[in-house]
């Protein structure tokens, strides 16, 4: 499990990089879900999330990477932001 990074609070939607309004809506939905969840993003603004699965991290990355030109990385896992600060 990636450790919390301190980049942002889970509820701070405006801190999530690269997302347009549709992506922010997806993130808003994601944060309302119970634990065992993950949200992934990439620099193109692609995103994906999963919850309720034992493999939520890999599923979120899989959803995000579909058709992506650059690789996706995890932004949040369960209740923690894991995106590395610059």
Q: Confidence class of residue 85 from pLDDT cuts 50, 70 and 90?
A: confident
Q: Which of 55, 48, 45, 40 is nearest to 21 (CA)?
A: 45
Average pLDDT over residues 36-62: 96
Q: Which residues of 49-64 are buried (b: 16+ CB within 10 A; e: fewer)?
A: bbbeeeebbebbbebb
| Domain boundaries defined on the chain | 13-81
Confidence class of residue 1 from pLDDT cuts 50, 70 and 90? confident
pTM for this predicted structure? 0.95
Specify whether the CB–CB gap between 52 and 37 falls below 8 A. Answer: yes
- Which tens digits make up the pLDDT trace of 8-18? 999 999 999 99
């Amino acid at each position: 499990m990636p450790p919390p990074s301190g980049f942002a609070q889970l509820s701070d939607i405006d801190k999530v990089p690269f997302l347009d309004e549709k992506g922010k809506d997806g993130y808003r939905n994601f944060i309302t879900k119970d634990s065992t969840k993950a949200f992934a993003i990439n620099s193109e603004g692609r995103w994906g999330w999963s919850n309720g699965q034992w493999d939520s991290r890999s599923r979120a990355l899989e959803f995000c990477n579909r058709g992506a030109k650059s690789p996706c990385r995890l932004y949040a896992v369960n209740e923690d932001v894991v995106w590395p600060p610059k």
